[in-house]
Amino acid sequence: MEDRELVREIIEKGHTGLFAEFVKRYSGIVYSKALGVVRQDDWAAEVTQSTFVKAYEQLRCWRGQQIGPWLVTIAMHTALHLLEKERVRRAQPVDNIADDIPDTFDNEREEMIQRMESAIRQLPSGEQELINLHYYQHQKTADIARITGLSQQNVLVKLHRIREKLRKELKTAN
């Protein structure tokens, strides 16, 4: 059955089980396109699932001959949205590391900042450079990648790992 006929059966006659045929036909291409963007199997699987859910919810909006290109477009937008969400999550300021520790007095907060600065000084020079560029010089990760010769994804991963290392250091020093 052609894509257009399947859509008509699903929308007009309520044969929602036929949507599984789209999943069967296009899940491979949707997954591979998503994997090309997000570069992680679990994220690609999440994007694939979200793509088919969104497509099902918006099926009445589809007006093409074949549904494959439409599904791939949804997958690309979903994958890019996931990467942006992860970038924002990972790019939390260094100041937020101290948020896990109760802030009862200004003196304690000042002491926490001093411990954080001390922990940063104890990092290897490459990690200190990334912290300095991102948090003190307010450089974007793309610019840091260009400056350091790392990929932007690598910069994001390293910043995340440095924040986790600092968070652990601050909790153990407490």
Q: Please list the pLDDT of the chain residue by residue as tens digits (174 residues).
A: 899 999 999 999 999 999 999 999 999 999 999 999 899 999 999 999 999 999 999 999 888 878 999 999 999 999 999 888 888 877 766 555 555 555 455 677 677 778 888 888 888 989 989 988 888 788 888 889 999 999 989 999 999 999 888 888 878 866
Convert 101-126 to b/e letters by CB count within 10 Å (16 or more is b): beeeeeeeeeebeebbeebbeebeee
> Is the pTM of the predicted complex or chain greater than 0.85?
no
End-to-end CA distance of the chain: 65
pLDDT at 13: 92
pLDDT at 46: 94
Domains of the chain, each with CATH number or no CATH: 3-89 (1.10.1740.10), 92-173 (1.10.10)
Q: Is the dihedral of CA 164, 158, 45, 48 positive or negative?
A: positive
pLDDT at 103: 46
pLDDT at 168: 86
